[in-house]
Structure 1
């Protein structure tokens, strides 16, 4: 372990202690940057070179950590942070095979135990062999801290505006939360050491060998898939007939409402998409592979099945769109719709791999998942939900007040378009939640800051009470 790695680990621990106490926003990105430097210094010391895909995973992970800094909603931020950890682990471990892509995201956890022990050995070596240099650095830090403390206190006492500025910029270092700050310090140190140790000694998941499945003969392999393909073709033919014949005739014949027809089909079609991917995976494992004719058979059958599966994906997306038109958009609906679209993209990638080879497929699937999570967070799902439902309210007069009150501050710009008293009934609860939150600047998202500005310029009407709002509740607006 080299000295730059130790300093980067120490910086991660200190920043974790100072910045992670008030919530997650840009502070998470500030803590991650020195941890990334620790990995870089450690990898260079171990003789590792930075590869293109490692840069892709690393930059993608850093990009995902911008989601908590931009969005106030917890659920897309949590998804982005988990995906960022997975991409960071992929960047450290590397790999191009399916075992490496599937197991790589958890590879960094292997170093949570070995990393601190490795760091302790490196610390002892630094103090034993280069004690003078470490002492110089520590003395410089102590002198700098004393100068900042003394002169900062004097300037703060001389000018109240400067004192307020320091209060906003400098993290709270009171001893009231001492035990929790110790936990945060350990979290930062152990995490940075695990990252650095993984960079120096990664787990080679590419060496995990998955035995190939026993190839089947053509009839045994192809007959079930051809039957399934014919079933897909029949279903898609009915969908096309419904599309051109109109939904009214189908609803009249089945006795269903518009929303019941849409809701009934989406979840089944989502499950069909998932099962189709499993069928393709197992079919490739047991596919006949004696020669060129077998390869043409595999490509033809599975290519046709995948193409028909894309029509199923389109049908599922259309049904969800129909349901949203009647009952509006919710977090669950936008999430599963995004998942269905990603599954359709995976099917397209599998079809492309059948033409150009599958060596790149594992990393492409992982990259598409990470890009989807990043796009999902950046588009602000709560804002999208609010915009769609406000537009629906303007068109139909239907609005789920109770659901909108539980949205995050990201939804405030769209909800601000509502007319009174609906606007105040929706924004009052969000304004109350924002008023209770006094997080510092580094733990405040841009979405929360923007919402505060809107509510400060146009606060909810104070006289609006629940007796007024309860009359606006439409229990049938969502199903």
Structure 2
């Protein structure tokens, strides 16, 4: 490989310094309240800033007076950062956490003369939003493209094993934040899985895996955003501008007029899916033992099976939604390979969908047990319906993986319309009342105050329940509360449910 040009060396050092800044940031702030760390972080940021814009302080489109104002804005930045060292006022600590970044953004934009408007005009806010949000997002591919220039090219004769290793490493990097979130949710949802994760963490001599992963992710995010922010100050063109570096996940267009599509390398995507599916298979194994009642012997000491079985449904639903986000790129965003590679991709996606369906069944069962213990409410019934809806969508996706001619969008839209109509016409409030009354027959417990806050759809069921259990003197007041909550209505507001409720 030929030696990089001087400008490439500078940008490479920028990225290295940004990574060091991210590591420095997480070291100062994770698990520690803000103090002198704020002043040190600001000093580190400005060290990277002045190195990045060295030779560019004049900007490309100078505006008279910007330079003086830019240097003067360093004063409030320094004084605000210093307050965390000198004082301990909680109110101003929160307010300064907003004011300090705003001053830094204003100062860095003004000093590098990247604004189209004077800093004291209201329109300057447009420049701030563009530099804080728009440009960093537009430049996200740049650091990955820069890293790509460090790697051996295909022409270097090292693209075989080394190239595969790089792609696998990229898949592991993509899987790391997803696994951190998923493992955290699954551990929160299932005490057995949580105990197994804790035992694995104990192998590392007391090092907390969750804390370590969190620190790595925070350092990565801070480094990536800081570098892209600096890049946005150096290059003023908008998102459509060509960058010196391309994203490693992006294919080149076949022709100049062809639209570029983002495609993930199959080895990278396969690595990610293998990592995620490995966790899911372990979790699903536990769920099968739970569903068939064999998990009682696996529970940690002091955990009751009944309490274990009816918790965690919310976390499992969130994991299912995360898997939806993984499924669509898996179907449409992976670059096609040979017949064997395609079969492997479809098998991994099938395993992902199958594990998700098992998780939804587990979540559904857990919520049913929770309702038996604590009663039926609108939110719980709606979550039940949403889980059934998600399960149907994943079954459709299972067919789509192997039948590529199947239109998922058509099937999903049709399913959504039908599901919404079903939820409207199943008379949820009446269903809630009936099931709570059946629960009363088994447990002797019922929340009549809650039923009194529902709609008039519950009144017929309450009257039947009153006739069956006249000893429950609170039922008439619940009926009156339901009927009275609607107030008086004129004939245009006539409603069959209210008419039946008000009819004695």
The TM-score range, normalised by the shorter chain, is: 0.3 to 0.5
Higher percent of residues as helix: 1
TM-score w.r.t. the length of structure 1 is 0.47
Higher relative contact order (CA 8 A, sep 6+): 1
